[in-house]
Amino acid sequence: MTDPAISVIIPAYNEEKYLLTYLPTVLASVARLEQASGHTAEVIIVDNASDDATAAIALQLGATVVTEPVRGIGHARNTGAAHAKGGYLIFIDADVDFPEDGITAVVTAMDTGATVGGAIPALYEPTKPATRMLFGLWRGIRAIRGGAQGVTQFCTRSAFDNVGGYRADRYMSEDVEFFRRLTRLGKRSQAPVVSIDHLRVKPSPRRFESWSSWRMIWYTNPVTAQLFLRSRRFWQGWYDNTVR
């Protein structure tokens, strides 16, 4: 059996509830790709030291499971990449409603050879006014500085290896920092990153609805995010209680 051309990597810590809802949307997108093209794909769940049924549910739904005992989103993504067999790597968060055409659009973009990778933008739908204002602020920052969140990022295997993967010593904005390095590589190699703007991925609003607006603003404003990038203790509540 030949190796899959595409590897979808999903880090997961205590995601049993959300995998049941959201993993089928990713699997449906993979099935759409395989039915419409000659490509094959694998879906890897990186069980990041869960103490619930995350691994069992992922296996039940048809994904491959690898275990990473060291907690950390960047570390988990890198572990998934180390086990991946595909020449294209797609990183998706565990709580994402993924569009059926998403995997096909990513592969189509990378098949041209004109890009080292890119992202599908996220569509957040929080109900609290203060949280909506915060997202507006971040959209403005990204419009000025560029970049993309790790809700869905993708790249070629060679590009991932070239930039050294995600930084495991960052507990916030590791995805933005990775994309910044990927963007620089794209410029140097004349294969710029792309944004698949005709699609959106929809993350769960779980944290934005369960946390108070002031707590959300305190944790996710640009100043706090920069000051405590490498503090595992500071972000413990962010990851251990309701991980993204």
Give the pLDDT score at 38.
Answer: 84
Q: Per residue in 102-123, is it b (16+ CB within 10 Å) or e — as a string?
A: bbbbbbebbeeeebbbbbbbbe
Give the pLDDT score at 243.
Answer: 42
What spatial distance separates the first Cα and last Cα of the chain, rounded to whole Å?
35
Q: What is the pTM of this model?
A: 0.84
Give the pLDDT score at 14.
Answer: 92
**For the chain, how big is the Rg over CA atoms in Å?**
17
CB 41 within 8 A of CB 32: no
Per-residue pLDDT of the chain (244 residues; tens, 9 = 90+): 567 899 999 999 999 999 999 999 999 999 999 998 989 999 999 999 999 999 999 999 999 999 999 988 899 999 999 999 999 999 999 999 999 999 999 999 999 999 999 999 988 766 666 666 666 665 665 565 666 666 999 999 999 999 999 998 877 778 989 999 999 999 999 999 999 999 999 988 776 666 777 676 676 666 676 666 666 676 666 666 544 3
Residue 78, both tokens = 């890198």
8-state DSSP, 187: H
